[in-house]
Amino acid sequence: MQDLIANFRVEDAVDVGVIAFLVYHTLDLIRGTRAARMLLGLGVVFLVFFTSQLFDLYTVNWVLDNFLSSILLVIIVIFQNDIRRALTQVGSGPFFGGDHGLQRGDVEEVVRAAVTMATKRVGALVVFERDVGLSEYIEAGTAVDAAISRELIVSIFQPSSPVHDGAIIVSNRRMAAAGCFLPLTTNPNVSKALGTRHRAAIGVTEETDAVVVVVSEEDGRISLVRSGRLTRDLDAANLREKLESLLV
């Protein structure tokens, strides 16, 4: 015990702490995503590989040995979307990111608009740009460049509006554009019952750090999407609390 204490170095503690931090946040990042199942599948492959070595299964061992020799490339190909999202989140941390820019009054306008549209079952999709730019989607939409207001949001998503099918993107406390089309998620684990709006909300948050509010025209439910994860059935108080914690 004394020898162990004598050989202990601060560098060792830092080393273990960094690894534990990375492992924890990696698991937290992939929790509930398709990457978790893929990682479990790779774990099974490794288990079979070590079992084949233990019981001298030469053919199985040869096949898996050749497969695992290029495991780094396999991981990059399989997890390319998750790796991109992880690096985006690292680059959007407190040392790199800026102010998300919304005020409580802005959030209140969005909440009131969402509740109004949910009551009338008007579908809506409002995207909040954070540290990762959304200029490619803004440029493809219809320029608005207006202050955030309940009346304007509701009017844009009226069925008679020519841009009601797309999304509003909020950037720098301004409604930058409307009628913006977003990438749909390709995650096979996403429920087939979800419509295009929800799939678009999940898709853009898988690729960026954006936060999205979705109002369903089918059932009038309000949802919030972040990091590819959907939180449904929000009332005004819950939506206000989540938006303020993320954007204010």
CA distances from 153 to 98, 113, 164, 200 (A): 26, 6, 10, 18
pLDDT of residue 77: 75
Reduce the DSSP state of residue 207 to 3 states and report it.
Answer: helix
Other beta carbons within 10 Å of 59 = 8
Alpha-carbon torsion (90, 93, 96, 97), positive or negative: positive
Q: What percent of the chain has pLDDT over 70?
A: 83
For the ranges 11-20, 59-68, 132-141, the one whose mean pLDDT is highest: 132-141
Instruction: Tell me the domains of the chain and their CATH numbers.
Output: 2-78 (no CATH), 104-247 (3.40.1700.10)
pLDDT in tens, 73-96: 877 776 676 666 566 655 555 444
CA distances from 236 to 124, 242, 246 (A): 15, 10, 15
Strands 124-128 and 167-171: parallel
Hey, which residues does 103 pair with through a beta bridge? Answer: none
**H/E stretch holding 212:** strand 211-215
pLDDT in tens, 132-165: 888 889 999 999 999 999 999 999 999 999 999 9
Site of tokens 């990042």: 29
Cα–Cα distance, 104 to 191 (Å, whole number): 33
Q: Which residue type is seen at 48?
A: V
> If you write DSSP's letter for every residue of 10-78 in order, what string do you get?
HHHHHHHHHHHHHHHHHHHHHTTSHHHHHHHHHHHHHHHHHHHHHTT-HHHHHHHHHHHTTHHHHHHHH
Is the pLDDT at 195 greater than 70? The verdict is yes
Which has more confidence, 107 or 24? Answer: 107
pLDDT of residue 94: 47
pLDDT of residue 104: 94
